[in-house]
Amino acid sequence: MGVSGLQLTLALIKPDVHAHPGLYQHIVGTVLKNRLLFVRSRVLRWSRQDSASFYGEHEGRFFYNRLVGFMASGQMSAHILAGEDAISRWRQLMGPTKTFRSQFTHRESIRGQFGLTDTRNCTHGADSEKAALREMQIFFPEFDAKTWWKEQSEFFKEGRVHFDEGRVEHVPVGKVHSDEGRVENTPVDRIS
Ligand code: ADP
Ligand code: MG
């Protein structure tokens, strides 16, 4: 797991949320309030083929075609999140898969509040460390997790990061040396 308790996970914010920019901002805010940090973010749009292969494990289920079509229906975003027990904490924030159940049983969760249907349920979260690694590679092939753990994880663990709203990413600050050997002295957003 690396630095004690710190974990990385892969989150998707699905097209139903991106159809409403205000809701996207709100969910980003929910992540931040819950002390999860954005390591990488990108906005993208899937082809049906991308969608079908990512959700291949569900092939044959009654909702598969609906799911594949929905995930290729518009813009979405992928995020690498860091935090204490990030995998389970992000899934907890999301709420259970089925929106119509979550609306009664987990009313504070993202799906409980904003899910439209059992398929259009706002978000995805990797469900294990193995899935998180695999999914991070799918969306961020250039992201080198080993180097991140070695060079950046301490900054994230200690909250020595600044949130770049435009990029929707936290950037390490405090001890970052530029090429000229200057020490950047950007203010620090304390996380804890
Ligand atoms: P989760 O996203 O919570 O990990 P699954 O991996 O089981 O859930 O399913 C992947 C996605 O397929 C869900 O997020 C949802 O969009 C869709 N889905 C799953 N189960 C159903 C269902 N019973 N009815 C409609 N859509 C479903
Ligand atoms: Mg799943």
Residue 27 main-chain phi, psi, to 5 deg: -70, -35
Predicted local confidence at residue 5, as pLDDT:
87
Which helix (H) or strand (E) covers residue 88, if one does? Answer: helix 86-94
- Contact at 8 Å (CB) between 54 and 76? no
For residue 19, how far is its CA from the centre of ligand 2 (angstroms)? Answer: 22
The ligand with the least distance to the CA atom of 98 is 1
What's the whole-number mean pLDDT along residues 161-189? Answer: 71
Query: Who's near 165: CB < 8 A, 6+ residues apart?
Result: none
Query: Who's near 8: CB < 8 A, 6+ residues apart?
Result: 39, 80, 81, 82, 86, 132, 136, 145, 148
Let me know the angle formed at the C-alpha of 191 by 122 and 21, rounded to the nearest 5 degrees: 30
**Bridge partners, 79 (sequence order):** 11, 41
Assess whether the C-beta atom of 119 lies below 6 angstroms from ligand 1.
yes
For residue 127, how far is its CA from the centre of ligand 2 (angstroms)? Answer: 6
First-to-last alpha carbon distance for the chain, in angstroms, is: 20
For residue 62, how far is its CA from the centre of ligand 1 (angstroms)? Answer: 11
The ligand with the least distance to the CA atom of 124 is 1
Residue from 13, 62, 97 to probe ligand 1 pocket by mutation (most atoms less than 8 Å from CB):
97
CATH 3.30.70.141 fits domain 6-140: yes
Q: Per residue in 53-83, pLDDT tens?
A: 999 999 999 999 999 999 999 999 999 999 9
The residues assigned a catalytic role are 124
Query: Who's near 98: CB < 8 A, 6+ residues apart?
Result: 118, 121
Residue 148 main-chain phi, psi, to 5 deg: -60, -45
Q: Per residue in 24-54, pLDDT tens?
A: 999 999 999 999 999 999 999 999 999 999 9
The mean pLDDT of the chain is: 92
What is the three-class DSSP state of 56? helix
What is the three-class DSSP state of 95? coil
Q: Is the pLDDT of residue 188 over 80?
A: no
Q: Name the binding residues.
A: 14, 63, 91, 97, 111, 121
Let me know the angle formed at the C-alpha of 32 by 150 and 120, rounded to the nearest 5 degrees: 105
Token code pair at residue 104 = 């009664």
What is the three-class DSSP state of 75? strand
Indicate which residue's Cα is closest to atom 16 of ligand 1: 119
Predicted local confidence at residue 3, as pLDDT:
58
Among the listed residues 87, 138, 91, 94, the one whose alpha carbon sits nearest the alpha carbon of residue 112: 94
Q: Is the pLDDT of residue 184 over 50?
A: no
